Structure 1
Amino acid sequence: MSVKSTGDCIESANAPLAYKAEGIVTLKTQQLEPPLHGVRVATRALAGMQKEALVTQSFDETVWRMVCDEGPYLNGTDLAPPPLAYFSAGMASSIAAGVLALARERGTELSDLEIVLDNRYSMEGSAIRGTMIAGALPVDLSVSAHVAGKNPNLNSLVFAELSKSPVDALMRNSLVDTFSIVRNSQPIPTGAVEESANPTPDDPVGLFSKHRYVEHRQALTDAVLKLETTESVFDADHGAGAAMKNIQKRQLHIRSILAVRDDGLREVKVQIFKPIGSVFRFLSDDSSVFGGLGRAPSGLAYVSAGIAFCFMTQLGRYAHIVKKNLDSYGVIQDTTFDVGEGRTLPVDTHTYIETTEDQETTQKYVDMGEQTCFLHGACRLSNKSRIKIAGR
């Protein structure tokens, strides 16, 4: 058995956990017409459970580079946020951006906005038997703010925003995500997952040599930071290496707390409560197309990166559990959001795998990666958010 990677790692990069990448000219989203908004994520596996992503959006040529890690429960090094932290921070930021934009549109004065978001996920079954499946539970969303001016009704603002929020729609509606597979540089059909109808882009591995970190040109070097380290626990269900076991029956709980800084950046602190994990801080902004300054990744960029990272984790984890060869793996993922109607289209993922295993095993990697991915599970299921609102 071998699950390999590039050998590159977060420790040797000498760079922030997230920054604007320079030199990328080939990473572009699909051509979309408003109100459709696309996010393309290219990812590759680094050492161990670490991953690296390049993220770009429609109508904006900026490319953000982000890295991801896992905690002790997945034998990770805990140097960067896990996938679910990216998704949760992005969801909180996207909702906050919508509420703030709607308040401006209505002439409502809104201040001291705080959003508390609790995301919960489940995993149960055996990886070896192929019965392991992950899913998402209803989101608990708490919103508080001081409101004044015209239409000072926070309930109306929040519910109107959620009705057209593409991220809430992702959780609320059932989606059938699509995939393609390139094995050892040759396309092969998918197995159980739905086949993508879109052209397969070139392998993303070459993209990562085309960007560089230039410190003096970075206006913002702390878009993603680790704030606190939580010591590893050693219980059977949530301790070191627990998530690498063949049989699982557990739930995860991630909490995000969002506030708006004086400079307008949205600040989100994220901690995994179950299994216990470290605390990470995300800064978020919108592009100029959506009224922001582009100083930090948008909420939808973080959401999209989280989905790609989570699928990558589960693909590598499955190969490790079943003791099969996986020399390298990466994805190019397209998420498409209807920001006018408040819809999310099925996630489209192109998977690139180098392996000595046969076609059937390669297909199984992707099938089980999707089946055990918490965030593809969130897309697959339908869950309405549970909402608490407190105007001040």
Structure 2
Amino acid sequence: MTTDRTSTPANVLGEDPRPRFFAFEDPSRFELAPPGARRDVAVRTFVRSLEGMQKEALVVSSASGRGWRLTSDEGPYLAGYDEAPFPLAFLDAGMVASYANEVTALAAQRGIALPGLRLTLDNHYTMEGSAVRGTMVGGALAPELTIEVEAGADQAALRSLGADAIDASPLNGLLRGQLESLFTLTHNGEPLEPSRVAALEGAALPDAEDRYDEIAVDGPPEAPELMRRTGSAELHEGDGGSNSSLRAEQKRALHVRGVCTVRADGVKVIDVQLLEPSGSRFRFLSDEPVGAGGQGLAPDAATLISAGIAFCFMTQFGRYAAITKKRLGRYRIIQDTHVSLGGASGGTGLAGGADPVETHVHLESQEDDEFARTLLDMGEQTCFLHALCRTDLKTRLRWSSTVAVPAAGA
């Protein structure tokens, strides 16, 4: 990726004949492995920049013997091609999938029927300040979860079920409390001590740049259906238009909505849209690994959540360099997330937990080391999802039993 604004970046994903998402078996063949598990599930996410705002991730988890290749792009507000979901879509899809896991598991344990189940998750974020002056900050607000079933359900039982499901989700560990993310920094192959962000002890994990091109599609044959765009972004004058998110001064709000239904085979169908500013719609499929309540037919909730955090963080690098007109070449990260099993879906009976996100940053640039440190600081400071982790948030819950819901995937 280059931040030279005089030329139009290549549409790498548009020229790639492979599906945007696909599974690959036996990640160890490519020297890709999850970190040692400190909690129940450890996820390692490798991400590299492509061109423009396009990015590619390889995600491996201790919960399965499979890896997932995922991709991300931005819409016109960040001069993207809209070839793949925007980063915040991954977090929203993973969150609502995780909540669906716990709601359905708890309902089964308590003998509660959930006809026509549909979950809607609204996530809100803020961005304010000046990138040039270093005052720009990304923020996250409390998520809002609405659970709908067809009329006739026991309201008291549903209220208790929903509150317990929220606590049981591994997301409880990321949202509640204030987790300060940890980082290593490598610039042009040389390790640097971070400036403002919290440093991760020990040496940086080695760069994995040569791994990506080795990965081929060898997972489920339904790969093209794992993710597809179902509606394109429509620019509105009040939203600021193309490239508005590349302005040096920001004071804006973002609103992402994900709607989840569950197919007969247990696979979750999730439609995500950026509502503010107006953006594209994408449909995700999500399924838990074999042995963890699913069939492994699609990326699991932890994989989508981890990819979302990593993609959002990476976007901030490209955005900051573009705004400040700095010469940023390619950049890559290796991110580790450690989460508990779901209290209901994993059978622990405990509230969900998580450790701070750990990220190894590898930058290539023609700028000096001070720029590299500043880029890392501003990346963390403006990342909506690192803000989500460092902010104590409680998901707000609403139940509705008056809506007749169409079948999943309709």
State whether TM-score is above 0.5. yes
Query: One-letter code of the match for 1:59?
Result: A
- Indicate the larger mover: 2-11 or 363-372: 2-11
CA contact (8 A) 2:27 2:65 kept: no
> Which residues of 2 match residues 353-364 of structure 1 at below 5 A?
353-364=363-374
> Which residues of 2 match residues 193-342 of structure 1 at below 5 A?
193-214=197-218, 218-235=221-238, 237-339=239-341, 340-342=350-352
2:149 match: secondary structure: strand
Aligned-partner Cα distance in 2 for 1:44–1:324: 19
Alpha carbons of structure 1 residues 22 and 289: separation in structure 2 relative to 1, 3 Å: closer
Using the TM superposition, give the Cα deviation of residue 23 of structure 1 relative to its aligned residue in structure 2, in angstroms: 6.6
Query: One-letter code of the match for 1:50?
Result: Q
Aligned-partner Cα distance in 2 for 1:173–1:210: 39
Per-residue deviation, residues 280-300 of structure 1 (Å, max 9, x unmatched): 000000012311100000111
CA contact (8 A) 2:75 2:233 kept: no
Per-residue deviation, residues 321-364 of structure 1 (Å, max 9, x unmatched): 11111111010101111225411211101101011211111011
**1:385 counterpart = 2:392:** no
Using the TM superposition, give the Cα deviation of residue 152 of structure 1 relative to its aligned residue in structure 2, in angstroms: 8.4
> TM-score if structure 1 supplies the norm length?
0.93
Which structure has more strand as a fraction of its residues? 1
Aligned-partner Cα distance in 2 for 1:10–1:275: 23
Aligned-partner Cα distance in 2 for 1:196–1:230: 39
> Which residues of 2 match residues 87-166 of structure 1 at below 5 A?
87-145=91-149, 153-166=157-170
> Which residues of 2 match residues 65-104 of structure 1 at below 5 A?
65-104=69-108
Alpha carbons of structure 1 residues 149 and 258: separation in structure 2 relative to 1, 3 Å: closer
- Indicate the larger mover: 19-28 or 342-351: 19-28
2:3 match: secondary structure: coil
Per-residue deviation, residues 185-210 of structure 1 (Å, max 9, x unmatched): 12111110000125422112111022
Match of residue 382 from structure 2? 372
**1:192 counterpart = 2:202:** no
Match of residue 20 from structure 1? 23
- Indicate the larger mover: 64-73 or 181-190: 181-190
RMSD across aligned positions (CA): 2.3
Alpha carbons of structure 1 residues 52 and 161: separation in structure 2 relative to 1, 3 Å: same
CA contact (8 A) 1:2 1:323 kept: no
> TM-score if structure 2 supplies the norm length?
0.89
Per-residue deviation, residues 26-62 of structure 1 (Å, max 9, x unmatched): 22111115x5211111000111110000111113121
CA contact (8 A) 2:93 2:258 kept: yes
- Indicate the larger mover: 81-90 or 377-386: 377-386
Using the TM superposition, give the Cα deviation of residue 68 of structure 1 relative to its aligned residue in structure 2, in angstroms: 0.3
Aligned-partner Cα distance in 2 for 1:263–1:246: 47
Aligned-partner Cα distance in 2 for 1:193–1:176: 9
CA contact (8 A) 1:32 1:58 kept: yes
1:383 match: secondary structure: coil
- Indicate the larger mover: 263-272 or 153-162: 153-162
Aligned-partner Cα distance in 1 for 2:288–2:167: 20
CA contact (8 A) 1:114 1:259 kept: yes
Using the TM superposition, give the Cα deviation of residue 139 of structure 1 relative to its aligned residue in structure 2, in angstroms: 1.2
Per-residue deviation, residues 241-298 of structure 1 (Å, max 9, x unmatched): 0000100000000111111112221011011011100110000000123111000001
CA contact (8 A) 1:326 1:354 kept: yes
What is the total number of aligned residue pairs between the two structures?
Answer: 389
Aligned-partner Cα distance in 1 for 2:241–2:46: 31
1:204 match: secondary structure: coil
CA contact (8 A) 1:319 1:325 kept: yes
Per-residue deviation, residues 110-143 of structure 1 (Å, max 9, x unmatched): 3321111110000000001000000001111101
- Indicate the larger mover: 79-88 or 193-202: 193-202
CA contact (8 A) 2:173 2:339 kept: no
2:65 match: secondary structure: strand
Alpha carbons of structure 1 residues 267 and 2: separation in structure 2 relative to 1, 3 Å: closer
Query: One-letter code of the match for 2:117?
Result: L
